[in-house]
Amino acid sequence: MLRIGIYGGTFSPVHQGHVAAAKAFMEQMWLDVLYVIPTGVTPHKAMDGEVTAAQRLRMCELAFADVEGVIVSDMEIRREGKSFTVDTLQALSGDDRRLFLLLGTDMMLTLGSWRSPERIFELCYPVYIRRESDQALDEEIVQKIAEYNQTYGKVVRRIVSDPIEVSSTEVRERIRAGQSIQGLVPARVAAYIEENGLYL
């Protein structure tokens, strides 16, 4: 059985929190392969008009170039129309593999209202990673996870890692304000953002 991880997001831009989360996910779920999948037109979030999907993809490739076992995939970007997680899981599923889906707090709380949640729970094991800024949501998350367990009969696993306090929003705001993003995103991503004048 291959253990395959899936980590999706807007990644506009990908930052150190994403990289650390991906590494902890690989280690703690004993993944053979991790697919990092930037969304195409995401149904969960308004898109950032100025940065193209190809640029978000490129930044992910740069961020994960040195992380063994990571495949940065353009499968959701290539797909026409909105990206639905259930379609991605379906595309990656197979008899020889077990799928694990990494979700942050925001995503975990809304999972029950995505397209075909019962199918999502059939196709994968959701894995939860907490962000430090989400402390206020701890109780809500515990309740939600218990609710999913009851409704879908599947246990949500949990990654334990030292959270890195950074968001893409913060990175974009700092760039717009002319502040340094050093240490918040991988160096190669910072260089790419600067060379291409992104998020100004």
Q: How far is the CB of 124 from ligand ATP (least distance, A)?
A: 14
Q: How far is the CB of 68 from ligand ATP (least distance, A)?
A: 20
Cα distance between residue 60 and residue 18, in whole Å: 10
Q: How far is the CB of 167 from ligand ATP (least distance, A)?
A: 4
What DSSP element (H or E) covers 34? strand 33-38
DSSP state of 47: -
* Structure token digits, residue 93: 């599923």
Q: How far is the CB of 96 from ligand ATP (least distance, A)?
A: 27
CB closer to ligand ATP out of 33 and 164: 164
DSSP helix/strand/coil, 74: coil
Closest residue to ligand ATP in the complex (CB): 104
CB closer to ligand ATP out of 31 and 107: 107
What DSSP element (H or E) covers 23? helix 16-28
* Burial (0-12, 13-18, 19+ Cβ within 10 Å), 119: middle
Residue numbers at the binding site for ligand ATP (CB under 6 A): 9-11, 17-18, 21, 103-107, 129, 131, 163-164, 166-169
CB closer to ligand ATP out of 88 and 168: 168
CB closer to ligand ATP out of 41 and 164: 164
CB closer to ligand ATP out of 95 and 157: 157
